[in-house]
Amino acid sequence: MSEETTIDDLPEEMLETIFTHLDLEDRKSVTAVCHRWSRLALRWSELQLEVDFRKCGTEESYRRTLLVSQRPYRHLVCYFGYDYAVGDLLLYILAKFSESLETMKLIPNQFVPVELSFFASLTKLSANLKKLHIDACNFRDNSDGGLEFHPLNNLQDLYLENNLLDLSGGHDIRELTPNITALHVQISYYSDRPLHVLRHFGPRLKELEVWFLSEDRFLEVCSMEFPCLRKINFYCVDWIFQDGDTIQIVQQFFRKSPELREATLRCNMIAPILADLANSCQKLSFLCLSMETVSADCFRWFSSLQNLKSLRLEDATIESPNLEQCPTLSSLRKISLYSVKITNALDLNHFLCRSFPALSVLELINVTTCGSFLYDQVVLSCNMAQLERLVLIEPDKSINLMLFEYIDLPKLREVKLKFKESFLASIPVGKQLRIHL
């Protein structure tokens, strides 16, 4: 006779997965079940403290609760509005958790003016920070250069969307954050300071995210040295490759980045550069591209990345792949198509099924198709035997919804569907959508 299963038999991995989907109040409730659940549900290394000063009357509540709390929060997110009178209270909160805090995000309403003295005080209270994220704060200095900044020697990850790169009184962000390995910045035409910062940290950076407010700076960054780079995110949607010299600069950038694992390139990529990327960065596991046309050659280069696990294509026209030119890529698990136009859905079907046999996640968001299609030309195929998750958000009306009733995918576990009213109106009255799970 088999023994009855109890809550003690549930593995910790399963419990942790369940608890991550609960809010704080529900986590508090499950702590009463048993000691093990209490320990797993409230792991302060994972819980994030959110302080929101945008709502009136929250200051007194935070004074009553947070300033007397004994919980060792490690992650703090702070929102504040146009009235920055709460700065002192926020500093008190930082002082309260300064020993345990490891990550912090400051998110104001758009470009709220904040005294630079606040940032100086923050550096004094944040010696243990490993990650600092500051959104669009407009720091202003009314101190006549008398501020004292403390180095954040433990900081590894810095995200800036403001003017902190230009500190007063001879201070330099490069001296305040000497050991960062991940940097996220904006670069415009009006200041050279971000370029100086990039050159300084370049030899040690493992992650780099750049939002190019001016496309003129794109080639300057690509000409720099980043020998340790593992992850990049370049956003320069207005960039256009015009001549061979500019192409060679970007090709050389990837030839000097063989350790890349993740690349997000929203900069109108073209096939010749993609070829160099594929040849030089064979360790890539994630690739996101925004480009005008995804040609048959592009798919050949995708398939040559034998460690690629996730592929995302955005704002592109997808042409028919050539099955004979593309080797099987057994590592790929996820494909996301966002705002793309598919020229031949049937060809794409065959390609996905034959070239990516381990595909388990397929996301189709705002996908359109060219022309009218026969009844068997659908974006999905029953031959995707390993598919576990399907996301279909606001497809074009040319993708016939009724065709999904023929899908019989043995491993499908999660389906997310969102349709426009005009799409649903195209379904004949009385017709039902049937997906077999």
Please answer whether residues 192 and 168 qualify as being in contact, where contact means their C-beta atoms are separated by less than 8 angstroms: no
59-63, 180-184, 254-258, 262-266: the lowest-pLDDT one? 59-63
Residues of the chain with CATH 3.80.10.10: 45-358
Which of the listed ranges 31-40, 60-69, 149-158, 364-373 does the model predict with the highest average pLDDT?
Answer: 149-158
Beta strand spans in 122-181 (E): 131-134, 138-140, 157-160
Q: Which helix (H) or strand (E) holds 210?
A: strand 207-212
Return the CATH number of 1-42, one of 3.40.50, 2.60.40, 1.20.1280, 3.30.70: 1.20.1280
pTM of the entire predicted model: 0.82
The count of other CB atoms within 10 Å of the CB of residue 388 is 16
Residues of the chain with CATH 1.20.1280: 1-42
Residue 158 scores a pLDDT above 80: yes
Q: What is the residue-averaged pLDDT of the chain?
A: 81
| Distance between CA atoms of residues 421 and 68, nearest Å | 51
Return the CATH number of 45-358, one of 3.80.10.10, 3.30.530.20, 3.40.50.150, 1.10.3720.10: 3.80.10.10
Q: Which helix (H) or strand (E) holds 293?
A: strand 293-294
| Distance between CA atoms of residues 2 and 369, nearest Å | 55
CA angle 239, 254, 159 (to 5 degrees): 65
State the pLDDT at residue 259. Answer: 94
